[in-house]
Chains A and B, each alone.
Chain A
Amino acid sequence: MIGLEHFLIFSGTLFCIGLFGALAKRNVIAILMGLEIMLNSVNINLVAFSRYVTTGDLTGHVFAIFVVAVAAAEVAVGLALIVSIYRSRMSVNAEDFDWLKW
């Protein structure tokens, strides 16, 4: 029988894969994709708790919808930043973005 634990372990593993993508990749778009996977796995957690722990109360679903809205805003601004940086540096390599380092 599939229960709450299965969904929690699944979403935790998905989160860690996203974290690995965000930390280990060189291309900034790949980092952005890792962030999206992480936000998605958090949503699975919220919905799983809403289904198994507070059954009948859908606050978790509403919260997940807000997370989706924030993720959409984040990816729009993130890609605009990447395009803008690319124009001045001609690079999408995260290791080249070192203005704040000396």
Chain B
Amino acid sequence: MNFMFWVIAVITLGSALMMVLDKNIFHSALYMIVTFLGVAGIYVLLQADFLAAVQVLVYGGAIAVFIVFGIMLIQRGNMKQTNLFSKSAALAGLVSLGLIVINVVMVLKTEWPISGAAPPEDTVNQIAELMFTKMVIPFEVAAILLLVALLGAVIIAKEVKKTS
């Protein structure tokens, strides 16, 4: 597990960094997919098998296709210089680096109340039980949110014309 964690962490962080630094937006999208799959590997290390599957399906599948479609609909011609930095890049880098340092210091300083118990063997049953008993109202709200987002996306992208 130790070795696998370091391998996955280096791949994930490296591809995330490449996604940010690459000047070609399509290459950025491909690096983003590698990052998502690396996060799925992290879920496996955390014994969250169902979430790892959801991550591969939703992020590695649906959102990746969404983003690639968006790029193909919008970018024309040469892709080489399509993903440049803005004027505020230096400031943004400073803020991000500061946040990383603060995060590392705070995480190492805090005493975490770690429970030494063994993690549950299968998570799917428990997630299903929670979702349909304690969390049933948020579950329904999420369903409505997805429906509204679907309709909203269609209406915004289609530009409804006023009919007299």
In the bound complex, do residue B74 and residue A29 qualify as a contact, i.e. CB atoms below 8 Å apart? Answer: yes
- CA–CA, A12 and B107, complex, Å: 9
Which residues of A, 69-102, contact B by the 8 Å Cβ criterion?
Answer: 69-77, 79-84, 86-87, 92, 94-95
Decide if the interface of chain A is mainly helix, strand, loop or mixed: helix
Among B1, B47, B96, B126, contact of A16 (Cβ-Cβ < 8 Å)? B96
In the bound complex, do residue B157 and residue A55 qualify as a contact, i.e. CB atoms below 8 Å apart? Answer: no
Shortest Cβ distance from B86 into A: residue: A26
Contacts of B25 in A (CB 8 A): 27, 29-30
Question: Which of under 10, 10 to 19, 20 to 34, or 35 or more describes the interface residues of B?
Answer: 35 or more
Instruction: Kindly provide the distance from the CB of B98 to the nearest chain A CB, expressed in whole angstroms.
Output: 9
In the bound complex, do residue A65 and residue B20 qualify as a contact, i.e. CB atoms below 8 Å apart? Answer: no
Instruction: Kindly provide the distance from the CB of A98 to the nearest chain B CB, expressed in whole angstroms.
Output: 13
In the bound complex, do residue B112 and residue A53 qualify as a contact, i.e. CB atoms below 8 Å apart? Answer: yes
Instruction: Kindly provide the distance from the CB of A91 to the nearest chain B CB, expressed in whole angstroms.
Output: 10
Q: Total interface residues on A, using CB and 8 Å?
A: 73
Shortest Cβ distance from B82 into A: residue: A27
Question: Can you list 27 A-B pairs with a CB-CB distance of less than 8 A?
Answer: A2-B1, A4-B112, A6-B5, A10-B42, A14-B13, A15-B99, A16-B97, A20-B20, A20-B95, A23-B92, A29-B70, A30-B28, A30-B83, A32-B67, A33-B29, A40-B35, A47-B46, A51-B48, A55-B117, A58-B127, A66-B142, A72-B58, A75-B67, A80-B152, A82-B70, A83-B74, A86-B73
Contact surface of A with B, Cβ cutoff 8 Å: 1-10, 12-21, 23-27, 29-30, 32-34, 36-37, 40-41, 43-44, 47-48, 50-56, 58-59, 61-62, 64-66, 68-77, 79-84, 86-87, 92, 94-95
Contact surface of B with A, Cβ cutoff 8 Å: 1-2, 5, 9, 12-13, 16-17, 19-20, 25, 28-29, 32, 35-36, 39, 42-43, 45-48, 50-51, 54-55, 58-59, 62-63, 66-67, 69-71, 73-75, 82-89, 91-93, 95-97, 99-100, 103-104, 107-108, 112-115, 117-120, 123, 126-127, 130-131, 134-135, 138, 142, 145-146, 148-150, 152-154, 156-157, 159
